[in-house]
Amino acid sequence: MISHRKYIEMALKLAEKGKGNVSPNPLVGSLIVKRGKVVGRGWHKKCGDAHAEVCALKEAGKKAKQSIMYVTLEPCSHWGRTPPCTEQIVEAGVREVVIAMHDPNPKVNGYSELKFRGVKTRIGILEEEAKKLNEPYSKWIKAKKPFVVAKAAMSLDGQIATKTGDSKYITGKEARKFVHELRAGYDAVMVGSNTVAKDNPQLTVRLAKGRNPIKIVLDSTLKISMSAKIVKTEPSKLIIATSKKASKVKIKKLMHKGVHVLVIDTLNGKIDLKKLMKELGKREICSILIEGGAELNAEAIKSGIVDKVLFFISPKFIGKGLAALGDMGINKVDKSIKLKELDYCKIGRDILLEGYL
């Protein structure tokens, strides 16, 4: 009996190779198997490049005839940046296609199209794993807003800094390396102006392989220093969300350096995060990792823009310091915000807790 799960697992691992490079397209991996042997492999490497199925077909060549194709996402059936994959699958003579999940894009109907063309087709193998891989893509396609993850590193007693503000380093080197790997897979990293002023971060992937994400800074009064590291390094990859209070002269200076400045409406004196997400979605930013402080974490969660949290917990006690979250306006425990689909793993000496809102 053919182990469809085994080959879809292999295809999912191939799909991960495209992390950080394919947005706003999905991560897709594909295998072509004939007589129990893998004869073609492919993954979507870059937005605008050939799709995973086409790459696998090219590697398989004539061996694709009467083969089984495994693919993590429903093949496209429409003309976009590239021709429809369904046509090339049929032309290659593939006899069966096994798909992990439907494509949430309403333009895609590859499953039905392949069945109509006489190709044996099945769908839903390791569907949940495939959906998790493409959480950002699915949300952006459905809502045209980015998938937002709030990340924090804290001590065992919930502090992200001491009472003097010192926070380097709460987690170990393994967790810090993991965070840099995370950054490489997201379209953007978002912080508040206080974090920039206090830590002067670079928000790069120095400890891992991959490309540096776009940097987003929330700065309603535009107090950011022109000599801040994120202004001086790759200014074209910096977006500052400010308000009408900002100095027009300073806006021009920043834009002259190549910085993108967005003037966003405020809500209770702060950047309206929901309106900002709409604007970022228009710019095809599909995923954001929030690496801010207590106030930004709290505001983001309260506003409803956060989809998932990643909290690193270090086996250390700090005592009175700065908590991971600011005021959430919660006065009773039964009104607390509860996480769903909890998972955790150990990274070095630290614990990574993952949950959805």
Residues noted as catalytic: 53
Of 204, 206, 198, nearest to 224 by C-alpha is 198
Beta carbons of 50 and 25 less than 8 angstroms apart:
no
Alpha carbon distances (Å) from 246 to 183, 278, 300, 301? 29, 21, 22, 25
Longest alpha-carbon distance in the chain: 70
Cβ count near 336 (within 10 Å): 8
By 3-state DSSP, what share of the chain in percent is helix, strand and coil, each rounded to 5?
Answer: 30, 25, 40
The CA dihedral of 332, 333, 336, 338, to the nearest 10 degrees, is: -160
CA 207 to chain centre: 18
Tell how strand 260-263 and strand 238-242 pair up: parallel
Angle at 137 (CA atoms; ends 135, 141), nearest 5 degrees: 120
Beta carbons of 300 and 192 less than 8 angstroms apart:
no
Cα 240 to Cα 255: distance, rounded to the nearest angstrom: 10
* Burial of 63 per CB tally in 10 Å (0-12, 13-18, 19+): middle
Beta carbons of 268 and 7 less than 8 angstroms apart:
no
Cα 124 to Cα 85: distance, rounded to the nearest angstrom: 19
